[in-house]
Amino acid sequence: MHSFRSNGTAMRLNKYLASCAVGSRRTADALIFAGRVRVNGEVVREPGRSVLPGTDLVLVDGVVASPTEKLYVVFHKPPGVVCACKDRFEKTVMDLLPPSLVGQGLFPVGRLDKESEGLLLLTNDGDFAQEIMHPSFGVIKRYHVRLTAPVDARTLQQWRKGILMEGRVVVPVLVEPLWGSEKSFWIRVDLQEGKKREIRVMARALGLRIRRLVRVAVGKLELAELQSGAWRLFTREELCRMIALGGRI
């Protein structure tokens, strides 16, 4: 995996903001384009603007943006909670973490929809989130999917060839059966890019219904024995090593 480090020299504004726990670089870009970021009193709308950490004063909505201690959390998301920092009507993953962590600017890396469960990473390191989420870095996410009825080999082959989503064919990395019975059927689906509700949309297009959807691995990092609703802290180095080389939580 690539490594992004500040060397004390000038940085792109969006990268600097990502180091300040405002979210991913995509979030930083949105703040900049919206005119919510000032550098030395000037509204800046260019994500590539150079800033010098420790010298330039950067404000987001009038609040000083400064680099924070980086945190990396592995969480077993239970079903019924949303992957959001806050929600007026729904329980979020943040509601299940201690206040000492929530107050550190954590945000979910990617998302699992409300009904889904399993391995979820949270961090306040925008560069790390970019590495995990962007398809160009090649981090594969593995899911175990329980269908409401058995699926035949022809339908699985259709799924492997890809499904039309948002105007283009999206092809999974892998689709294969796991185990089944007369009332249920488990399959494994590996994805490299994560469109919203991608597996559910694919299944629906094939006439299949999902009873349960569990993310069991990110890269070579496996969920293993971490109980639903439980979490663990790691260093960036530990987590990157486990994602790249393998590890069980």
Among the options 61, 113, 125, 190, which is catalytic?
A: 113
Neighbour count for residue 89 (Cβ, 10 Å): 5
The answer to whether the beta carbons of residues 23 and 37 sit under 8 Å apart is no
- Cβ contacts of 57-66, under 8 Å, gap ≥ 24: 58/13, 58/16, 58/17, 58/20, 60/17, 60/20, 60/22, 60/31, 60/36, 61/36, 65/16, 65/17, 65/20, 65/22, 65/37, 66/20
Q: What's residue 121's pLDDT?
A: 96
Q: What's residue 4's pLDDT?
A: 35
If asked whether residues 35 and 95 sit together in one domain, one would say: no
Q: What's residue 30's pLDDT?
A: 93
198: Cβ contacts below 8 Å, ≥ 6 apart: 165, 170, 191
**DSSP 8-state secondary structure symbol assigned to residue 157:** H
If asked whether residues 132 and 224 sit together in one domain, one would say: yes
98: Cβ contacts below 8 Å, ≥ 6 apart: none
If asked whether residues 101 and 122 sit together in one domain, one would say: yes
Q: What's the CA gap between 111 and 99, in Å, rounded? A: 21
If asked whether residues 131 and 231 sit together in one domain, one would say: yes
Q: What's residue 61's pLDDT?
A: 94
**DSSP 8-state secondary structure symbol assigned to residue 55:** T
Q: What's residue 1's pLDDT?
A: 40
- 206 in a structural domain: yes
- Its pTM stands at 0.78
Q: What's the CA gap between 82 and 92, in Å, rounded? A: 5
Tell me the pLDDT of the chain averaged across its residues.
Answer: 88
Question: Could you read off the pLDDT of 184-242 as tens digits, one per residue?
Answer: 799 999 998 777 889 999 999 999 999 999 999 999 999 988 999 999 999 999 999 99
If asked whether residues 90 and 145 sit together in one domain, one would say: no
If asked whether residues 144 and 211 sit together in one domain, one would say: yes
Active site residue 113: yes
Range of the domain at 170: 140-218
Q: Which residues of the chain have pLDDT under 50?
A: 1-7
Q: Which of 135, 231, 151, 224 is nearest to 187 (CA)?
A: 151
Instruction: Give the count of domains, the chain.
Output: 3
Instruction: Output helix, strand, coil percentages for the chain, rounded to the nearest 5.
Output: 25, 30, 45
Q: How far is residue 135 from each of residues 11, 96, 112, measured CA to CA in Å?
A: 24, 29, 17
